[in-house]
A = this chain, B = another copy of it.
Amino acid sequence: MNKFEFQNPVKLYFGEGEIAKVAKEIAPGSKVLVTYGGGSIKRNGIYDQVMAALKDCIVIEFGGIEANPDYDTLMRAVALGKAEKVDFTLAVGGGSIIDGTKFITAAMNYDGDPWDFIVGKAPVPAAKPFGTVLTLPATGSEMNCGAVISRRATKEKYAFHNAKGFPQFSVLDPTAVFSLPKRQIANGIIDTFIHTTEQYLTTAGSPRVMDRFAEGVLLTLVEIAPHLIAEGTPSYDDCANFMMAATMGLNGFLAMGVDEDWATHMIGHELTALHGLDHGVTLAIVWEGTMNVMRREKEAKLLQYAERVWGITGGTSDEIIDKAIAATDNFFRSLGVKTLLGEYGIGEETIVAVRNRFEERKWNLGENGIVTPEKVEQILRCRL
């Protein structure tokens, strides 16, 4: 078991109607920058609840942040926030809005070119205070200090972390899931699933409690996914379980004392950067390749995963692992997501492009740093 340091100061308000608690967290009279996306919050009533909670504040709005939030869009929010000298920023949305807001609140504290801290050329500055109202369970961003930012101009997508950039609070109201398109629910389930496996399907010998917690998130997703994805509005409890699973999947708890992988995410980011695929879709495509190619290094954990999550035990190691990968593929496909590159019209040239990018950046991925650019090519090649 590895040494670790852990701290997560985020305050959660969980439950129907809890958006009103925003009023407890932001001082009356504050100038609040409210960030959001394409406007779905105006149709499902969340916008109205937020504005009611902020009735004693001065509100500046910045809407229109897109999925895979774009650097150029976000820089306009930074300029607005600086010009207005806002006291607090409230992100109302899913992971893209929250990630974008993590960038905005850090960049408002930065005088140089903020791209530098995204790509690691400069330390990330402490963020100005912000909170979130979560509308889409998926990324866990509401209870962590990481963010992923895209730059369409250069087809790039990078993650950064900011130990001084946790939300002060996050409101998790499960009723936000009621009106989500099934495609977004499917993406959120897959994102949560693979956040968990990135912290679980690595080396043997991780803490037993963390293995059980990770398996608990995965089992929960497998149990509730059919209800969430079925036609019609899901139940409150299914939505609540989904929201809790997503938050627990990436708030640092599952990572205590474990080795982490993240190769699937890093490769997936390139597919989004190059082709604009949904993040969840890229993960469903890449994951099976990573497990296939790295099956020897991950063998002990893949066998444990097969048994504890899917109840698969009979046969040789490779047979069990094949069955577990197939069960996972069936699960992703049951959500309506295609899992092969060819099904999205993506072929050979992209594989070469991704390999070249990792070679240029000298990136070796995975829990042991042995997912070389050559291995990345192998991973993608078995997903053609």
Specify the chain B residue showing the minimal Cβ separation from A223.
B208
Question: B3 to A14, Cβ gap below 8 A?
Answer: yes
A215 CB → nearest B CB, Å:
7
Given contacts A14-B257, A216-B213, are A237 and B205 in contact (CB under 8 A)? Answer: yes
Per-position 1/0 for A13-48, Cβ under 8 A of B = 111111001000000000000000000000000000
Question: In the complex, which residue of chain B has the Cβ closest to the Cβ of A238?
Answer: B208
B5 contacts A12, C-beta separation under 8 Å? yes
Report whether A257 and B237 are in contact in the complex, using a CB–CB cutoff of 8 Å: no
A292–B1 Cα gap in the complex (Å)?
38
* Interface contact B9-A4, CB-CB below 8 Å: no
The closest CB in chain B to the CB of A17 belongs to B3
In the complex the two chains form, what is the Cα distance from A236 to B257 in whole Å? 13
**A211 nearest in chain B by CB position:** B216
Q: Does A256 contact B (CB under 8 A)?
A: yes
Kindly state the interface size class of chain A when it binds its partner.
Answer: 35 or more
Let me know if A6 and B1 touch, CB within 8 A: no
Query: Is A11 within 8 A of B3, CB to CB?
Result: no
Residue A230 is within 8 A (CB to CB) of chain B in the complex: no
Q: Does A316 touch B at the CB level, under 8 Å? A: no
Q: In the assembled complex, how far is the CB of residue A54 from the closest CB belonging to chain B, in whole angstroms?
A: 19
**Contact between B10 and A7, CB atoms less than 8 A apart:** yes
Q: A11-B6, A241-B1 are in contact. Are A212 and B217 (CB under 8 A)?
A: yes
> In the complex the two chains form, is B240's CB within 8 Å of A207's CB?
yes
Could you say which residues of chain B place their CB within 8 Å of the CB of A75? none
Is there a chain B Cβ closer than 8 Å to A219's Cβ? yes
